[in-house]
Amino acid sequence: MTTVAILGAGSVGCALAERLLHIGAVVRFGVRDPGATAGKLTGSVAAIPTLLPAAAAADAEMILLAVPAGAAASAVRSSGNLAGKILLDCTNPLRWDGGPVWAPPAEGSVAQALAAAFPGVPVIKGFNHFGAEIQRRPELTTGPADAFFAGDDDNAKSSVRTLAERMGFRTHDAGPLRNSALLENLAVLWIQLASAGGAGRDFGFRIERQP
Protein backbone atom coordinates (compact mmCIF):
# COMPACT_ATOMS: atom_id res chain seq x y z
CA MET A 1 0.00 0.00 0.00
CA THR A 2 1.45 3.35 -1.05
CA THR A 3 1.72 6.13 1.53
CA VAL A 4 1.56 9.64 0.08
CA ALA A 5 2.00 13.01 1.76
CA ILE A 6 0.31 15.85 -0.10
CA LEU A 7 1.70 19.28 0.72
CA GLY A 8 -1.22 21.63 0.21
CA ALA A 9 -4.94 21.02 0.54
CA GLY A 10 -6.39 23.33 -2.10
CA SER A 11 -8.31 22.20 -5.18
CA VAL A 12 -5.36 20.31 -6.67
CA GLY A 13 -4.32 18.67 -3.42
CA CYS A 14 -7.87 17.61 -2.61
CA ALA A 15 -8.53 16.27 -6.12
CA LEU A 16 -5.39 14.13 -6.09
CA ALA A 17 -6.15 13.00 -2.55
CA GLU A 18 -9.65 11.93 -3.56
CA ARG A 19 -8.29 9.86 -6.44
CA LEU A 20 -5.60 8.30 -4.24
CA LEU A 21 -8.20 7.32 -1.66
CA HIS A 22 -10.18 5.71 -4.48
CA ILE A 23 -7.32 3.25 -5.13
CA GLY A 24 -6.68 2.54 -1.45
CA ALA A 25 -3.55 4.62 -0.92
CA VAL A 26 -2.71 5.99 2.52
CA VAL A 27 -2.90 9.79 2.26
CA ARG A 28 -1.97 12.59 4.63
CA PHE A 29 -2.13 16.35 4.12
CA GLY A 30 0.87 18.43 5.19
CA VAL A 31 -0.08 22.07 5.80
CA ARG A 32 1.03 25.07 7.86
CA ASP A 33 -2.17 25.24 9.93
CA PRO A 34 -3.62 21.74 10.34
CA GLY A 35 -6.55 22.80 12.51
CA ALA A 36 -7.79 25.51 10.19
CA THR A 37 -7.34 23.32 7.11
CA ALA A 38 -9.14 20.34 8.64
CA GLY A 39 -12.15 22.53 9.35
CA LYS A 40 -12.48 23.42 5.66
CA LEU A 41 -12.27 19.93 4.16
CA THR A 42 -15.46 18.32 2.89
CA GLY A 43 -16.46 15.01 1.35
CA SER A 44 -14.18 11.98 1.38
CA VAL A 45 -11.03 14.03 1.98
CA ALA A 46 -12.38 15.29 5.31
CA ALA A 47 -11.28 11.98 6.83
CA ILE A 48 -7.64 12.45 5.77
CA PRO A 49 -5.27 13.31 8.64
CA THR A 50 -4.19 16.94 8.42
CA LEU A 51 -0.74 17.43 9.91
CA LEU A 52 2.29 19.67 9.84
CA PRO A 53 4.45 18.85 6.78
CA ALA A 54 7.17 16.96 8.67
CA ALA A 55 4.61 14.73 10.40
CA ALA A 56 2.72 14.10 7.17
CA ALA A 57 5.90 13.16 5.32
CA ALA A 58 7.52 11.11 8.08
CA ASP A 59 6.69 7.65 6.70
CA ALA A 60 5.53 8.64 3.22
CA GLU A 61 7.07 7.06 0.14
CA MET A 62 6.08 10.01 -2.04
CA ILE A 63 5.60 13.70 -1.36
CA LEU A 64 3.24 15.47 -3.77
CA LEU A 65 3.68 19.21 -4.04
CA ALA A 66 0.30 20.90 -4.47
CA VAL A 67 1.20 24.39 -3.26
CA PRO A 68 1.79 27.61 -5.24
CA ALA A 69 5.03 27.36 -7.19
CA GLY A 70 6.64 30.15 -5.19
CA ALA A 71 6.10 28.20 -1.97
CA ALA A 72 7.42 24.88 -3.28
CA ALA A 73 10.94 25.00 -1.85
CA SER A 74 9.85 26.19 1.59
CA ALA A 75 7.17 23.49 1.72
CA VAL A 76 9.74 20.80 0.96
CA ARG A 77 12.15 22.31 3.48
CA SER A 78 9.50 22.00 6.18
CA SER A 79 9.02 18.29 5.44
CA GLY A 80 11.98 17.05 7.47
CA ASN A 81 14.15 14.13 6.42
CA LEU A 82 13.65 13.40 2.71
CA ALA A 83 15.83 10.27 2.56
CA GLY A 84 14.19 7.48 0.59
CA LYS A 85 11.29 9.63 -0.60
CA ILE A 86 10.20 10.66 -4.09
CA LEU A 87 9.30 14.30 -4.61
CA LEU A 88 6.52 14.76 -7.18
CA ASP A 89 6.23 18.38 -8.30
CA CYS A 90 2.70 19.24 -9.46
CA THR A 91 3.23 23.02 -9.48
CA ASN A 92 3.33 25.61 -12.27
CA PRO A 93 5.23 28.93 -12.14
CA LEU A 94 2.76 31.35 -13.70
CA ARG A 95 1.80 34.98 -13.80
CA TRP A 96 -1.28 36.47 -15.42
CA ASP A 97 -1.05 39.06 -18.20
CA GLY A 98 -4.29 38.85 -20.15
CA GLY A 99 -3.81 35.09 -19.88
CA PRO A 100 -1.40 32.62 -18.30
CA VAL A 101 2.30 33.37 -18.78
CA TRP A 102 5.05 30.92 -17.88
CA ALA A 103 7.37 32.49 -15.29
CA PRO A 104 10.10 29.94 -14.53
CA PRO A 105 12.91 30.31 -12.00
CA ALA A 106 16.50 30.72 -13.14
CA GLU A 107 17.09 26.96 -12.99
CA GLY A 108 14.66 26.44 -15.88
CA SER A 109 11.60 25.01 -14.10
CA VAL A 110 10.30 24.58 -10.56
CA ALA A 111 11.28 20.91 -10.64
CA GLN A 112 14.84 21.76 -11.67
CA ALA A 113 15.05 24.37 -8.92
CA LEU A 114 13.92 21.76 -6.39
CA ALA A 115 16.47 19.26 -7.66
CA ALA A 116 19.20 21.87 -7.21
CA ALA A 117 17.98 22.80 -3.72
CA PHE A 118 17.63 19.21 -2.52
CA PRO A 119 20.45 17.19 -4.10
CA GLY A 120 20.07 13.45 -3.81
CA VAL A 121 16.27 13.60 -3.66
CA PRO A 122 14.61 12.19 -6.80
CA VAL A 123 12.35 14.88 -8.28
CA ILE A 124 9.65 14.00 -10.80
CA LYS A 125 7.44 16.50 -12.62
CA GLY A 126 3.85 15.58 -13.38
CA PHE A 127 0.11 15.88 -12.66
CA ASN A 128 0.50 19.59 -13.49
CA HIS A 129 -0.86 19.83 -17.03
CA PHE A 130 -4.60 19.48 -16.39
CA GLY A 131 -7.00 20.75 -13.77
CA ALA A 132 -8.54 19.28 -10.66
CA GLU A 133 -11.43 17.88 -12.69
CA ILE A 134 -9.10 15.46 -14.50
CA GLN A 135 -6.99 14.80 -11.41
CA ARG A 136 -10.16 13.70 -9.65
CA ARG A 137 -11.56 11.64 -12.54
CA PRO A 138 -9.11 10.95 -15.40
CA GLU A 139 -11.69 9.75 -17.90
CA LEU A 140 -12.05 11.27 -21.38
CA THR A 141 -14.50 10.38 -24.12
CA THR A 142 -11.95 8.15 -25.92
CA GLY A 143 -10.21 6.67 -22.89
CA PRO A 144 -8.03 7.60 -19.92
CA ALA A 145 -6.35 11.00 -19.86
CA ASP A 146 -2.63 11.00 -20.61
CA ALA A 147 -0.24 11.95 -17.82
CA PHE A 148 3.34 12.87 -18.69
CA PHE A 149 6.21 12.55 -16.22
CA ALA A 150 9.73 13.97 -16.49
CA GLY A 151 12.66 13.13 -14.24
CA ASP A 152 16.26 11.95 -14.14
CA ASP A 153 15.73 9.01 -11.75
CA ASP A 154 14.23 6.19 -13.81
CA ASN A 155 13.27 4.08 -10.79
CA ALA A 156 11.43 6.98 -9.15
CA LYS A 157 9.73 7.84 -12.43
CA SER A 158 8.62 4.23 -12.84
CA SER A 159 7.15 4.23 -9.32
CA VAL A 160 5.23 7.42 -10.02
CA ARG A 161 3.94 6.11 -13.34
CA THR A 162 2.79 2.88 -11.70
CA LEU A 163 0.87 4.87 -9.11
CA ALA A 164 -0.67 7.11 -11.80
CA GLU A 165 -1.78 4.09 -13.81
CA ARG A 166 -3.44 2.64 -10.72
CA MET A 167 -5.22 5.99 -10.42
CA GLY A 168 -6.61 5.50 -13.93
CA PHE A 169 -4.26 7.57 -16.10
CA ARG A 170 -2.42 6.43 -19.21
CA THR A 171 1.18 7.48 -18.61
CA HIS A 172 4.11 8.53 -20.77
CA ASP A 173 7.79 9.02 -19.98
CA ALA A 174 8.47 12.65 -20.92
CA GLY A 175 12.22 12.25 -20.61
CA PRO A 176 14.78 13.86 -18.29
CA LEU A 177 14.04 16.52 -15.71
CA ARG A 178 15.04 19.29 -18.11
CA ASN A 179 11.81 18.48 -19.96
CA SER A 180 9.82 19.53 -16.91
CA ALA A 181 9.86 22.98 -18.52
CA LEU A 182 7.86 21.51 -21.40
CA LEU A 183 5.26 20.15 -18.98
CA GLU A 184 4.97 23.55 -17.31
CA ASN A 185 4.36 25.07 -20.74
CA LEU A 186 1.81 22.36 -21.49
CA ALA A 187 0.01 23.54 -18.36
CA VAL A 188 0.02 27.10 -19.73
CA LEU A 189 -1.63 25.81 -22.89
CA TRP A 190 -4.25 23.91 -20.86
CA ILE A 191 -5.06 27.00 -18.78
CA GLN A 192 -5.25 29.20 -21.89
CA LEU A 193 -7.65 26.80 -23.58
CA ALA A 194 -9.71 26.32 -20.42
CA SER A 195 -10.08 30.05 -19.79
CA ALA A 196 -9.78 32.49 -22.69
CA GLY A 197 -10.04 29.67 -25.21
CA GLY A 198 -13.48 28.74 -23.96
CA ALA A 199 -12.86 24.99 -23.77
CA GLY A 200 -13.90 24.74 -20.14
CA ARG A 201 -12.06 22.71 -17.54
CA ASP A 202 -13.34 19.19 -18.18
CA PHE A 203 -10.73 18.18 -20.76
CA GLY A 204 -7.27 16.68 -20.82
CA PHE A 205 -4.66 15.72 -23.38
CA ARG A 206 -4.50 12.32 -25.02
CA ILE A 207 -2.26 11.00 -27.78
CA GLU A 208 -4.36 9.36 -30.48
CA ARG A 209 -3.14 7.43 -33.52
CA GLN A 210 -4.37 7.68 -37.07
CA PRO A 211 -6.64 4.82 -38.16
- Tens of pLDDT, residue by residue over 103-161, are 999 999 999 999 999 999 999 999 999 999 999 999 999 999 999 999 999 999 999 99
- What CATH number does domain 3-194 carry, 3.40.50.720, 3.40.430.10, 3.40.50.300, 2.30.30.100? 3.40.50.720
Do the Cβ atoms of 72 and 79 come closer than 8 Å?
A: no
Q: 108-143: string of b/e by CB count within 10 Å (b at 16+)? A: bbbbbbbbeebeebbbbbbbbbbbbbbbbebebeee
Question: What is the spatial distance between Cα 126 and Cα 170, in angstroms, rounded to a whole number?
Answer: 13
Give me the amino acid identity at 210.
Q
Ordered per-residue pLDDT tens for the chain, 211 residues: 799 999 999 999 999 999 999 999 999 999 999 999 999 999 999 999 999 999 999 999 999 999 999 999 999 999 999 999 999 999 999 999 989 999 999 999 999 999 999 999 999 999 999 999 999 999 999 999 999 999 999 999 999 999 999 999 999 999 999 999 999 999 999 999 999 899 999 999 999 999 9
DSSP strands (E only) in 57-99: 62-65, 86-89, 94-96
Whole-number Å distance between alpha carbons of 88 and 82: 12
* Sequence ranges of the domains in the chain: 3-194
